[in-house]
Every structure is written in structure tokens, then in C-alpha cells.
């Protein structure tokens, strides 16, 4: 039986960090699962690391369906979490449901979407119809042009309060997990303490319930600019398999991220 979003409440309750990593194909799905990764995120980051775009915006629902099918074929137990791409869920809650159906039919156990209070009604609509949802706050890459670039979010008091309100809203709407991207560690600690659902950080400090990185970043094979929160596990490990195993160990042992990876 595969892990599902409900599986991770227990890990959070016993303060055991949750290990998520992006994954886009069957071979890496098998390898990352064998290394102990618990959640394989078919992220729309594939637009950048697989397709060579500058942003995640050109990624289509068809792209995510295809990569979800590939990942599902490669792993037996890890939960497969699929991103709802830009334009596939913002128009209406009905559009979001139709898109989520395609991802679940492709084999995903849950879908991820970006946005807080503005997405609460959509999250409730999906959850009430059997679609498990992970929300995503902080730096939301689908809004990169609105945010003015890939910048740390939630730095001032007003922005931090909005983020905390957003986090409470998505939890109340039924989201069972929350990704926090590029926010100050103190804020992610505040959010994690305020919520009952697990938080998964990427550039959000050590006090989240788990961590996620983009596979090509942590293997240091993405040619683009590397963010401060990325650690190169490949040179440490010497092989892809060992690098991913070290990532899992570091997240579980809470030795990653350190202050050097934190805002
Ligand atoms: O698409 C993605 O890889 C993501 C992570 C950055 C969390 O959403």
C-alpha cells in the first residue's frame, strides 16, 4: 500500500522529519524510493530542470500527467504528489477539480497548488470531492513575475502576518500538508507551531516538519543559478545513489538545512 497524505500526520506527531524530493521519471523514482524518500513530488520545476524554460509557467497539465505516470511506474510505496500547473486550477474550482482528476487518474495520491486565502474555497471543493491537497506558500514560483523574481518572502511584519493567515486558511479549508518556500526560518517555525498539519520546507529552515529539494539542484546538475538553500549532496556522496541516501539521512537527522541554507 502506498503512503498517502494521512500517513504523514503520525510522523509529524512523533517529530520525525518527512523526506520529500522532486522526481520526474521512473528510474529516479525507483532509486529515490530505495534511498528512503517518502514523497516524490512531480513538481512543475520540471519546466526548468527538464524542459529548459526560465520559469515554471509554460508547464502544461499534459506534461505533469505524463511525468506522474512515469514516476508512478517506478515506485511502489512512496507517495506521488503532483503539481497543478499554472493555468490549470486558478480559473474556477470546477477547473481545479477536472485537472486534479487527471493527476489522480495518472496515479498521484495528492495534488499541490500554490496560494493561500484566495485558494481556500478551491481547496475545500477538492477535498470534499476526495482529492487530497498539499498547499504551497511563501515564494510561489507560478507568481514569479508578480513577486518580481525569486526572492525571500514574508520578511516584514505585514507579509509575515499575511503568510500566517494564509497558512491557517489552507489548513482550515482541508489541506493536509503545506510546502513553505524561501521564507525566514523564524516565520516557518511560527507557522509550523500554529498548524496541526505537517509543513515541508525548501529554504525555510530546520523547524518545518520535513524538507524538499529539487533533484537536479541537490545533485548539482542544473546549470542555472543555485539558491542559498541548496546543498550539493552529489559531491558529498560520490554517486547519485549515495548522494540521495545522504540527503535522506541528513533530513531525518535534522542536520540539513543548517544556518548556511537558511534566511
Ligand atoms: O515544483 C517544484 O519542484 C516545487 C518545489 C520547489 C517545492 O514546487
Express each pLDDT in 149-176 by its tens digit: 999 999 999 999 999 999 999 999 999 9
Measure 44 CA to ligand 1 centroid, in angstroms.
6
Is 181 known to be catalytic? yes
The pLDDT of 34-55, averaged and rounded, is 98
Region 243-256 average pLDDT: 98
Residues with CB under 6 A from ligand 1: 22, 41, 43-45, 83, 136, 179, 181, 202, 212, 214
| Residue nearest to ligand 1 atom 5, measured at CA | 43
89 has pLDDT over 90: yes
Note the pLDDT tens digit of each residue in 190-244: 999 999 999 999 999 999 999 999 999 999 999 988 899 999 999 988 899 999 9
CB contact at 8 A, 96 and 51: no
User: Bridge partners of 211?
Assistant: 19, 201
* Average pLDDT for the chain: 97
Q: Which three cell numbers stand for residue 28?
A: 529516479
Number of CB atoms found within 10 A of residue 221's CB: 12
Catalytic residue among 38, 114, 171, 181: 181
Indicate whether 102 pLDDT > 90. Answer: yes
Q: What percent of the chain has pLDDT over 70?
A: 100
Taking a C-beta distance cutoff of 8 angstroms, is the pair 218, 259 a contact? no
pLDDT per residue as tens digits for the range 127-149: 999 999 999 999 999 999 999 99
The alpha carbon of 71 and the centre of ligand 1 are apart by a number of angstroms equal to 15
Neighbours of 2 (CB within 10 A): 13
CA separation for the pair 113, 56 (Å, rounded)? 13
Q: What is the mean pLDDT of residues 78-107?
A: 98
Model confidence pTM above 0.95: yes
pLDDT score at 225 = 87
Taking alpha carbons only, the member of 69, 68, 63 closest to residue 47 is: 63
- Res 8 pLDDT > 90: yes
Q: How far is the CA of 64 from the centre of ligand 1 (A)?
A: 12
Amino acid at each position: 500500500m502506498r503512503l498517502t497524505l494521512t500517513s504523514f500526520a503520525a510522523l509529524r506527531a512523533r517529530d520525525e522529519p518527512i523526506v520529500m524530493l522532486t522526481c520526474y521519471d521512473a528510474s529516479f523514482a525507483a532509486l529515490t524510493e530505495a534511498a528512503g524518500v517518502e514523497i516524490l513530488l512531480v513538481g512543475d520545476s520540471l519546466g526548468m530542470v527538464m524542459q529548459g524554460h526560465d520559469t515554471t509557467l509554460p508547464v502544461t497539465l499534459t506534461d505533469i500527467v505524463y511525468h506522474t505516470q512515469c514516476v508512478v511506474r517506478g515506485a511502489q510505496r512512496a507517495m506521488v504528489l503532483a503539481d497543478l500547473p499554472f493555468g490549470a486550477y486558478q480559473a474556477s474550482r470546477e477547473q481545479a477539480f477536472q485537472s486534479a482528476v487527471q493527476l489522480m487518474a495518472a496515479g498521484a495520491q495528492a495534488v499541490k497548488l500554490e496560494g493561500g486565502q484566495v485558494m481556500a474555497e478551491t481547496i475545500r471543493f477538492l477535498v470534499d470531492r476526495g482529492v487530497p491537497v498539499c498547499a504551497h506558500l511563501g515564494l510561489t514560483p507560478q507568481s514569479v513575475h508578480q513577486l518580481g523574481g525569486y526572492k525571500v518572502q514574508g520578511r516584514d511584519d505585514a507579509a509575515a502576518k499575511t503568510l500566517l493567515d494564509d497558512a491557517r486558511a489552507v489548513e482550515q479549508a482541508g489541506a493536509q500538508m503545506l510546502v513553505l518556500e524561501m521564507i525566514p526560518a523564524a516565520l516557518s517555525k511560527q507557522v509550523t507551531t500554529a498548524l496541526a498539519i505537517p509543513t515541508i520546507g525548501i529554504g525555510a529552515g530546520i523547524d518545518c516538519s520535513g524538507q524538499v529539494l529539487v533533484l537536479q539542484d541537490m545533485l548539482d546538475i542544473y546549470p542555472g543559478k543555485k539558491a542559498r538553500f541548496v546543498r550539493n549532496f552529489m559531491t558529498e556522496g560520490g554517486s547519485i545513489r549515495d548522494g540521495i541516501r545522504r540527503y535522506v539521512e541528513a533530513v531525518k537527522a535534522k542536520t540539513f538545512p543548517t544556518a548556511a541554507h537558511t534566511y
